[in-house]
Amino acid sequence: MTTQLPEDVIIDILARVPRCNYPRLSLVCKHFRSLIASPMLFAVRSLLGCTELCLYVLLHNRETGGDQRWSILRQKIKDNSRLVLIPSLPVAQRYAAVGSKIYMFDSTKDDSVTTNVLSFDCRSHTVQPLPSIVNVYTTVADIINGKIYGLGYHNTNSEKPMVVLITETQTWEPVMTIPESVYYMWPPNFVMMVGKMYMLCPGGSYVYDPKESRWETDEKLKFWVKGTYDPKQRRWEWWKVWNKTKSCSPVSWTKIVGYGRKLALFFCKEEVTRERWGADISPERQEIWCAEISLERQEGEGIWGKVEWCDQVMVAGNFIGSKCIAVMV
């Protein structure tokens, strides 16, 4: 297929098209397919404010034990949304998403501990290896201002290291040591809020401020609940969910991820049969569903969540959701 339009005009047009139409457009010709995968298209989409959040879900096969696969949620305008397999996306131990990339961390224990890192570009579905870090076993904490923070332990001593990957330059900052007063079990419980790291530990609750490179305590975090913590007011608020969709319970597992000012809830609904003379339960049909929940604060009533839509996105085998990630593309 040939066109007389200049390439920059074609890119400008494609950048304004919703990404849900890209799979079909890539079938038009090889030229379209290469443009859709090009970094230039993402740059133009960013300039025009046409970027979108895409949801990736890692599914673990409970029957085989080790089989894992990534899928992307293809959101359609008329038809129902659905999960589509992405075979080119590798599987790792830990993940973090920054911009249009998913960073993957794998720690190996041979003669020495090495944490290997890959970056997966969700625009072109290509993988790039990044510098490894030696003698440190890490668990990814989260992202603050484009930097990925990881907590872990040394292979050679009892110190508790904190490592930071600068995604803009794809380099590591010098390894920092967490104070002995910050005692945490492995793996630690943590969450990132308003540019700080909040950690729940057996000896108390702590907050790390990267701007000040300082740890401090926060007594309000001693008991974590299912709700929203306001770090400015230092208090917990409960969620209230308004659901006008039909009930999809009972469910066997759930995974939730925030994207923008909304939440995406993935859950599995199973139809099972119980053997007459035993207690074994085997699923006859497994449906994976997704619900989009918008959040807004009601005066005097806390935070309300409204279910915008709830659809079946996959009919699969015996899978369980392991990870959900939101990526800007």
**pLDDT tens track for 1-29:** 556 788 889 899 988 988 777 877 888 88
Residue 12: beta bridge partners? none
Domain ranges of the chain: 5-50, 87-216, 223-317
The pLDDT, as a whole number, for residue 100 is: 87
Q: Say if pTM beats, i.e. exceeds, 0.75.
A: yes
Neighbours of 7 (CB within 10 A): 12
CATH superfamily of 87-216: Kelch-type beta propeller (2.120.10.80)
Which alpha helices (DSSP H) does the chain contain, by range? Answer: 7-15, 22-25, 30-36, 39-48
Determine the 3-state secondary structure of 221 from DSSP. helix
Instruction: From 265, 325, 272, select the one nearest 291 (Cα to Cα).
Output: 265
Burial category of 291 from C-beta neighbours within 10 Å (exposed 0-12, middle 13-18, buried 19 and up): buried
pLDDT mean values, one per 10 residues, the chain (329 residues): 78 86 82 84 87 88 78 72 83 88 84 83 86 81 86 74 90 87 72 82 81 82 57 60 52 83 86 46 71 80 80 82 88
**pLDDT tens track for 213-223:** 888 887 766 55
Q: What is the distance between the alpha carbons of residues 69 and 63, in angstroms, rounded to a whole number?
A: 14
